[in-house]
Amino acid sequence: MKSVQKKNQGFTLIEVLVVLMIIAVIVAFTIPAIGPALKGSKLRQGADELEALLAGSHQLSITENTPVEIRFFKYEDPESPGSTKMFRSYQSAQVITNPQDHKQNTYDLGEVKMLPSAFVIAEKTYSSLVESEFLRRDEMEIPRSKSAEYVAFEFRPDGSTNLATVDEKHWTLTIMRETDLGVTLDESTEFITLVLNPFNGRIRRLQP
């Protein structure tokens, strides 16, 4: 009997080219759709982490019966020397009061957290909280800057903040891309605003 040998049939050049063309078309349609989604996810991530720190610090102040300070750090982008100083990081700091002298406080510092790359806390009308003249102002060394300026407010043990004495019903913090600052905002601009109630310390979120 004659043995029947099966020939190994590979792909022809034309078939390979057709497959490559199909892949190229899929990639061309997919990449533009992924870009905005990734940008939006980083924005939400930054807002989620800041909101979680604010809520956690508020609860810690009540539970431990001690003030908790929230600091917002302003400095140049270390990867772009000479860039504009912006609010790029934040930190919670539990206030340790000296019973003999209430003016000599020490701080149990939490981790300095950074906003996602390219995102900042916008200033001026976008974020009334960091613009307030009633905030404590100082500077300190942090991982991304040897001399970062900061502004700070406090959550108090009764659930309020030290801004409750100011004639403002709410304070805002707006996170957006640094490249969107200084340009006219439209419906395509992505941002998230956290609104702080100074009287009860609660936070709510506004997002277009």
Report pLDDT digits (tens) over 128-146: 999 988 899 999 999 989 9
Q: Are 104 and 156 in contact (CB under 8 A)?
A: no
Which pLDDT score is estimated for 61?
97
pLDDT at 105 over 60: yes
CA–CA gap between residue 163 and residue 197 (Å, rounded)? 9
Which pLDDT score is estimated for 116?
95
Q: CA 195 from chain center: how many Å?
A: 14
pTM: 0.79
Top-tier CATH class for 33-206: alpha beta
pLDDT at 38 over 50: no
Q: CA 78 from chain center: how many Å?
A: 17
Domain ranges of the chain: 33-206
Report pLDDT digits (tens) over 194-205: 999 999 999 999
Identify the three-state secondary structure at position 64: helix
CA–CA gap between residue 178 and residue 52 (Å, rounded)? 22
Pick 154 or 81 by higher pLDDT. 154
Pick 36 or 77 by higher pLDDT. 77
**Least trusted range by pLDDT, from 149-153, 175-179, 182-186, 187-191:** 182-186
For every residue of 26-43, DSSP letters joined together read HHHHHHHHHHHHHHHHHH
Q: What angle do CA 82, 88, 89 make, to 5 degrees?
A: 130
CA–CA gap between residue 132 and residue 126 (Å, rounded)? 12
Report pLDDT digits (tens) over 46-99: 999 999 999 999 999 999 999 999 999 999 998 888 899 999 999 999 999 877
Q: Which residues contact 171 (CB under 8 A, 6 or more apart)?
A: 128, 129, 132, 163, 195, 196, 198
Measured between alpha carbons, how far is residue 41 from residues 58, 116, 147 in Å?
25, 10, 30
Pick 13 or 44 by higher pLDDT. 44
Across all residues in the chain, what is the average pLDDT?
A: 86
Which pLDDT score is estimated for 66?
94
